[in-house]
Structure 1
Amino acid sequence: MIKNNAVLATVAFALVVTVTSVSYTFYQLYETNRAKHIDNIFSKHSLISQIYHTYLIKQISPPMFEANLALYDLNEIMEEEAYETIIREGKILKTDGTTDPYSSPSDFSEFPRIPLDSHPIITSMIEYRGKIFFWVESSRHSVLLEDQSSQAYSGVNLLSAYGTIMTILIVSFALIIYRLRPLRRLRKQIARFGEGDMGVRFRIAGSDEIALIANELDTTQNKIRSLIESRTLFLRNIMHELKTPIAKGRIAATMLSDEKQQVRFEGIFERLESLIGEFALIEEITSGNQHLEKKEYRLVDIIDGAVDSAMVDYDSVVCDVDTSIKMEVDYRLFVTAVKNLIDNAIKYSPDKKMEITVKGKEIFFINSGEPLKKPLSYYIEPFTKDHPTKDSFGLGLYIVDAILKEHNYVLAYERRGNRNCFILVPVKPSKRNHK
């Protein structure tokens, strides 16, 4: 799935990496700014500790203590309930200049109690509902002060910038995917064209790179279509025009008084008719215009049809095939392929016999005789054969191979003992054939 959508997967991966990188960068920036904001506010703790220490050693009176606090926008929380709530639910940001983001109010129970005469002072900065408080305590007294001039760090501006950048990124990648969407359509059209659908059109409105490629493909397709149509028309006209003189020649041959010459000419015209028939079949298979009418048939019925078509004696073909085996094929074409294999096996067998059997999903055509002198790939090329004969044009295995490919089979060859085995091996159909 990913291989078929590599460009889309790459774009999605780039989006994930970009979003992750930007998010991490903004998170680090948020934490840095927040830490600086806390440090700036907490810088008051030394001043607060000094005022509080002066108050503890009785150098200033309570009214003077409150006046000093008010001078720095500090307001003492006097209500006991509010005091307890803030201490219990507030988040401790710093204590005596040491960052402790995981602290909770219960942590203060762990502070050591210093002897009364030393007057140790512990100052803690607390955030509660967006407000900043300083909790100052000593061994004999504590006070909770609200810093009215400071607010908790919100990072609204930073979050706004993050949201704006993320929106731009997502919109940009969405536009990229939208612009790449014609590629999916183009890929499907190319696949249809490869399957032989000559009516597919590639043209796309626009002037971007994808549209230019699609329009070039459309132009190329029109040229290919014209060439195929010209070739098809040329071949069909030639075959049609040749049939008339061949028919006339056969009629004329029957009028010859010399029986030997008559048989010779009739053989020549039969060979010409056979060649035209093979050319017609090749043109039909290779043109890409044929429509396979695949239906389910019993294999034994296909073999019987092939034996009849080959006009060989039934005793020459040993058929060891289960009658329940069925195949989904175009009957006319597949019978032609089997007929050629039967004809080829009998023709090159010393005893003029051959055997057909099935092993698993493979169909074997077996005959005795000499092994192939060259690889099988040589014999499936047109106009190739080992033994020149008046009855063959070297197109048999070429036609067999072309028909088998249309049915998702390949032709294989094995030499087993003194026997030749031509094997029809099924292959998995390509994904393109299932679209």
Structure 2
Amino acid sequence: MLRNISISAFINTIFILALIAISLTFAIFIKLDKQRFNISMQKKYELVAENLLKTLDTNPSKNGIKIILKQFKMQQVEDNILSLTVLNDAKVVVVRQTINGMYRIFSLEDNLYTYVQKDGYNLMIQDTQNYSYNLLIISLAIALSIGVLFSLYYILKKKLKPLRNLNREIKKFSEGDLNVKIVSNSKDEIGTIAKTFDEAITHINNQTKSKELFMRNMMHELKTPITKAMFIAETLDDEKKRETLQRAFQRMDDIIKELAMVERLTSNSTLVYKEATSFFKIYKKTVEIAMLNPNKIDAKINDFRLNADTAMLSVALKNLIDNAIKFSPDRHACISANKYKIDIISKGEKLKNNLEYYTEPFSQEEKRSDGFGLGLYIVKTIAHLHGYRLVYQHNAGKNIFSILIK
């Protein structure tokens, strides 16, 4: 599960858990510290009360009592209403009867009070300090801890911002935008990766431009002499030599056309010009560019409307039909089409390898003089550009190549 979560989400989760952990830790610490404070205060009150009871034997003056209380950082409760409230409503924590007198410790609203009694003399005292002092210190510690945590969170998010920008640019590049420019001023590992990737993009762009320029120049330079040679071959009197040369030059011309199609399909500037059309129109275009004898094709077409690039899809169908006729024993093919799929069916043995093997460029089952190994690669690429899928099955001695539309 952790492998599928993004770095940003992982950091957010870690900091949320850290914040919860800090909050729980301080909450437990406050509770335990308060208990410790109450216990220590209770012991202090008991000590002060016993000392006061011993001191009251000598009948000290009020100033004498104040001096004793000051030594223990205690004070007498002068408010009679508060004294009555403590006596009537407060919770009794400790009751002690000693030989010198009696004292009781009360708890009211998280404050402790001691009530000392001896021979009709009574005195209610409380500490000059309460837990709010400790609570203030703990609150400052909590604020400091959370402040440091959020500062680290902000610094880390800011540090990872170039990584998010890098990821966005890489995504654009993977979608075909070769003009991305990655700029990073940081000197850390992320900056190094960004710089390296930017150099790689520049290198790839240069190679792509060189490849496109080479392919176009090569095809242009080859096309002209082939065309001239085909015209010259027409002038030969020997029919056998003329047909042999024409087939050879036609084959060379077909190879150049296939290479041109591959170059176009693999180019990042490839655009699919989809339009609302009928399948029958695409099929007519296929027969036209294939220059095949219609008697070699059985068509079972339920015409339907679709959005497709007519030129591209015609080339894909032409390659499938060409292969079906070329490699079937009876040199015959059948096309069946509806709005869900297009089937090209022909007799023949089952393919020796899986379909993925044949959809790789220049893949052939065996060396043939009449194949260049690009047909199915072109079909698969065109289908993918349309959002379709090419599949294969062998059934009842027939090879069936299908383009799944829906």
Normalising by structure 2, we get a TM-score of 0.82
Given that 1:412 and 1:425 are in contact with CA atoms closer than 8 Å, whether structure 2 keeps it comes out as yes
Tell me what 1:272 maps to.
252
Amino acid at match of 1:282: V
What's the CA shift string for 1:116-137, capped at 9, x where partnerless? xxx9864323346xxx442649
Q: Alpha-carbon deviation of 1:410? A: 3.6
CA shift for structure 1 position 66: 11
Kindly state the Cα deviation for residue 413 of structure 1 after the two structures are TM-superposed: 1.4
2:18 is aligned with 1:39: no
**CA–CA separation in structure 1 for the residues paired with 2:188 and 2:247:** 63
Contact 1:76/1:143 (<8 A) preserved: no
In 2, distance between residues paired with 1:375 and 1:163?
A: 65
CA-based RMSD: 3.8
Code of the aligned partner of 1:75? Q
Residues 226, 74 of structure 1: CA spacing in aligned structure 2 closer, same or farther, 3 A cutoff?
Answer: closer
Equivalent residue runs for 1:242-281 within 5 Å: 242-281=222-261
Query: Does 2:137 match 1:157?
Result: yes
Q: Which residue of 1 aligns with 2:185?
A: 205
SS in 1 for 2:177: coil
C-alpha distance in 1, partners of 2:123/2:277? Answer: 94
Please give the secondary structure, in 2, of the residue aligned with 1:145: strand
Moved over 6 A (4+): 1-4, 51-55, 58-61, 63-67, 87-90, 141-144
Q: In structure 2, what is the equivalent of residue 103 of structure 1?
A: none
- Check whether the contact 2:349–2:397 (CA below 8 A) recurs between aligned residues: yes
In the alignment, the residues of structure 2 paired with residue 142 and residue 222 of structure 1 have an alpha-carbon distance, to the nearest angstrom, of 97
1:145 paired residue number: 124
Instruction: Map 1:380-419 to 2 at 5 A.
Output: 380-385=359-364, 391-419=370-398
Output one character per residue of 1:30-64: Cα deviation in whole Å (capped at 9) or x when no partner: 33433333223222443566589899xx9898x97
Question: Given that residues 325 and 346 in structure 2 are in contact (C-alpha distance below 8 angstroms), is that contact kept between their aligned partners in structure 1?
Answer: yes
Between the aligned partners of 1:52 and 1:204, the Cα distance in structure 2 is 75
Counterpart of 1:330, as a letter, is D
Q: Do the aligned residues in 2 keep the contact of 1:2 with 1:9 (CA within 8 Å)?
A: no
Distance 1:382-1:148 versus aligned 2 partners, 3 A rule: closer
> 2:20 — aligned with what?
20
Distance 1:147 1:341, change over 3 A: same
Matched letter for residue 175 of structure 1: I
Q: Percent identity?
A: 27
Letter in 1 for 2:359: I
Change (3 A) 1:78 1:247: closer
In structure 1, the residue matched to 2:289 is 309
Report the 3-state secondary structure (helix = DSSP H, G, I; strand = E; otherwise coil) of the residue aligned with 1:381.
coil
2:105 paired with 1:123: yes
Identify the match of residue 335 of structure 1 among 280, 304, 314: 314
2:195 is the alignment partner of 1:215: yes
Q: Is the 8 A contact 1:341 1:365 kept in 2?
A: yes
Letter of the structure 1 residue corresponding to residue 93 of structure 2: T
Partners of 1:187 and 1:89 lie apart in 2 by 67
Alignment deviations for residues 371-429 of structure 1 (CA, whole Å, 9 cap, x no partner): 223333333334444577655333211221232233334422111122211122469xx
Which among 204, 218, 221 is matched to residue 238 of structure 1? 218
Instruction: Determine helix, strand or coil for the equivalent of 1:202.
Output: coil
Letter in 2 for 1:288: N
Cα separation, partners in 2 of 1:423 and 1:124, compared to 1, 3 Å: same
C-alpha distance in 2, partners of 1:169/1:210? 23
In structure 2, do the counterparts of structure 1 residues 242 and 143 end up closer, same or farther at CA, with 3 Å as the change threshold? farther
Q: Deviations over 1:329-349 (max 9, x none)?
A: 333222211211122223333
- Is contact 2:304-2:338 (8 Å) kept? no
Q: Matched residues in 2 for 1:409 and 1:26: separation? A: 59
Partners in 1 of 2:347 and 2:121 — Cα distance? 111
SS in 1 for 2:222: helix
Cα gap change, 1:396 to 1:152, in 2 (>3 Å) = closer
1:15 CA displacement: 1.4
The answer as to whether partners of 1:354 and 1:368 remain within 8 angstroms in 2 is no
Amino acid at match of 1:373: K
Deviations 1:313-340 (A, max 9, x none): 44544444543452x4333222211211
Provide the rounded CA distance (Å) in 2 between the counterparts of 1:332 and 1:207: 50
Q: Verify: 1:182 aligned to 2:162, yes or no.
A: yes
Is 2:8 aligned against 1:29?
no
2:147 to 167, 181, 185: 167
1:367 aligned residue (320, 327, 346): 346
Cα separation, partners in 2 of 1:34 and 1:315, compared to 1, 3 Å: same
Contiguous gaps of at least 5 residues in structure 2? 96-100
Report the 3-state secondary structure (helix = DSSP H, G, I; strand = E; otherwise coil) of the residue aligned with 1:172.
helix
2:206 equivalent in structure 1: 226
Contact 1:367 1:419 in 2 (8 A): yes
Partner of 1:102: none
Q: Distance in 1 between matches of 2:106 and 2:281?
A: 96
Corresponding residue SS for 1:153:
helix
Structure 1 residue runs of 5 or longer lacking an equivalent are: 97-110, 112-118, 428-435
C-alpha distance in 1 between matches for 2:194 and 2:164: 12
Distance 1:87 1:299 in 2: 98
Larger CA deviation: 151-160 vs 375-384:
375-384
Equivalent positions of 1:346-365 (< 5 A) are 346-349=325-328, 350=330, 352-358=332-338, 361-365=340-344
> Quick check: 1:77–1:144 contact (8 Å CA) kept in 2?
no
Alpha-carbon distance between aligned partners in 2 of 1:321 and 1:95, rounded to the nearest angstrom = 97
Matches of 1:9 and 1:409 in 2, distance apart? 34
- In structure 1, the partner of 2:93 is 95
The residue that corresponds to 2:98 in the other structure is none
Q: Secondary structure at the match of 1:43?
A: helix
In 1, the alpha carbon distance for the partners of 2:198 and 2:176 equals 15
In structure 2, the CA distance between the partners of 1:318 and 1:43, relative to structure 1 (3 Å rule), is same
